[in-house]
């Protein structure tokens, strides 16, 4: 079997987290926004980047009006704008958002291969970068992972999510990205195919959050759950992941064996 050379990663200050799934609609964007806001609320300088360059909706979810987006990741990847021009503020002074554009023209002109360089550029001046990756098994996902330290899989307890998520986890492993864990979103959906322990056994990775089916997860005023409903289960679970990343929380007693093993191997306090 050929030995794969480890991927070289440039020295950087920010911890880069790719949020992925493979399958569409599992809640990647919703979770990315809430995690980014939670980290910012904890005082961490956080960049939330929309790497879903073809079907971007992160900024729309956050209530950023499309007409205010003069410069986006599209222009940066087209070599037409400095990365700093594609940065917008939202909800908290510690949070900066790098949206993708909505136009087909912008999508066509970008050079995806610059994505890794752009992520590395931003990582010089932030504590965390949270990358919302696209559905599918594609170049934006691979380039995002190649620049990331950790992958968080956002999965639903259904068969499609399990199959696609495994592919993304495998890609991350090939690219030498740590699998931080799985966020099991909508775990209480009707007739779930998999329980938490089945998911952990299937992936060999810990479930680090369980997000309930939450009809109010997207509000008309676009305020994310961690701010709009800070005492909700959703907010508590998202903060749990943020605290793991920030090294403020040890794994709980109830954490499964796989979780404890993974967390012991990966010392979060050292990030």
Ligand X SMILES: Nc1ncnc2c1ncn2[C@@H]1O[C@H](COP(=O)(O)OP(=O)(O)OP(=O)(O)O)[C@@H](O)[C@H]1O
* The total number of residues written for the chain in this structure: 271
- Minimum distance, C-beta of residue 185 to ligand X, in the bound complex (Å): 5
Interaction between residue 21 and ligand X (CB under 6 A)? yes
User: Closer CB to Mg ion, residue 57 or residue 232?
Assistant: 57
Q: Give the 3-state secondary structure of 5-26.
A: CCCCCCCCCCEEEEEECCCCCC
- Minimum distance, C-beta of residue 19 to ligand X, in the bound complex (Å): 8
User: Closer CB to Mg ion, residue 29 or residue 259?
Assistant: 29
- Short-list 58, 36, 51, 47, CA closest to 12: 47
User: Closer CB to Mg ion, residue 28 or residue 44?
Assistant: 28
Answer for which of 17, 27, 29, 35 binds Mg ion (CB under 5 A) is 29
User: Closer CB to Mg ion, residue 29 or residue 144?
Assistant: 29
State both tokens at 168. Answer: 């993304």
- Minimum distance, C-beta of residue 244 to ligand X, in the bound complex (Å): 19
Q: Which stretch binds ligand X (CB under 6 A): 27-35, 104-112, 242-250, 252-260?
A: 27-35
What residues form DSSP beta bridges with 185? 211
Tokens 């995806």 found at: 112
What residues form DSSP beta bridges with 47? 96, 129
- Minimum distance, C-beta of residue 76 to Mg ion, in the bound complex (Å): 19
* Distance in angstroms (rounded) separating the CA atoms of residues 146 and 215: 34
* Distance in angstroms (rounded) separating the CA atoms of residues 94 and 42: 9
Interaction between residue 217 and ligand X (CB under 6 A)? yes
Cβ neighbours of residue 253 closer than 8 Å, sequence gap 6 or more = none
Q: Which stretch binds ligand X (CB under 6 A): 17-25, 76-84, 113-121, 145-153?
A: 17-25
Query: What residues make contact with ligand X under the rule CB under 6 A?
Result: 21, 24-30, 52, 55, 135, 185-186, 211, 213-214, 217-218
């Amino acid at each position: 079997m050929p030995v794969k050379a480890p991927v070289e990663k440039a020295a950087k200050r920010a911890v880069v987290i790719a949020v992925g799934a493979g399958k569409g609609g599992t809640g990647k964007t919703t979770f990315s926004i809430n995690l980014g806001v939670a980290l910012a609320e904890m005082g961490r300088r956080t960049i939330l980047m929309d790497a879903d360059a073809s079907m971007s909706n992160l900024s729309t979810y956050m209530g950023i009006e499309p007409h205010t987006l003069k410069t986006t990741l599209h222009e940066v990847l087209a070599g037409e704008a400095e990365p700093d021009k594609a940065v917008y503020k939202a909800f908290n002074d510690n949070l900066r958002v790098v949206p993708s554009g909505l136009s087909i023209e912008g999508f066509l002109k970008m050079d995806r291969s610059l994505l890794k360089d752009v992520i590395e550029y931003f990582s010089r001046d932030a504590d965390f970068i949270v990358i919302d990756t696209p559905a599918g098994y594609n170049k934006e996902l691979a380039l995002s992972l190649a620049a990331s330290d950790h992958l968080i899989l956002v999965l639903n307890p259904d068969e499609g999510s399990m199959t696609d998520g495994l592919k993304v986890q495998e890609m991350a492993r090939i690219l030498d990205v740590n699998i931080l864990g799985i966020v099991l979103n909508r775990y209480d959906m009707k007739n779930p195919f998999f329980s938490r322990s089945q998911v952990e056994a299937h992936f060999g990775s810990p479930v680090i959050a369980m997000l309930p089916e939450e009809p109010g997860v997207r509000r008309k005023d676009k305020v994310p759950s961690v701010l709009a409903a800070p005492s909700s289960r959703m907010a508590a679970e998202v903060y749990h992941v943020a605290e793991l990343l920030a090294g403020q929380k040890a794994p709980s007693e109830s954490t499964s064996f796989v979780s404890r093993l993974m967390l012991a191997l990966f010392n979060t306090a050292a990030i």
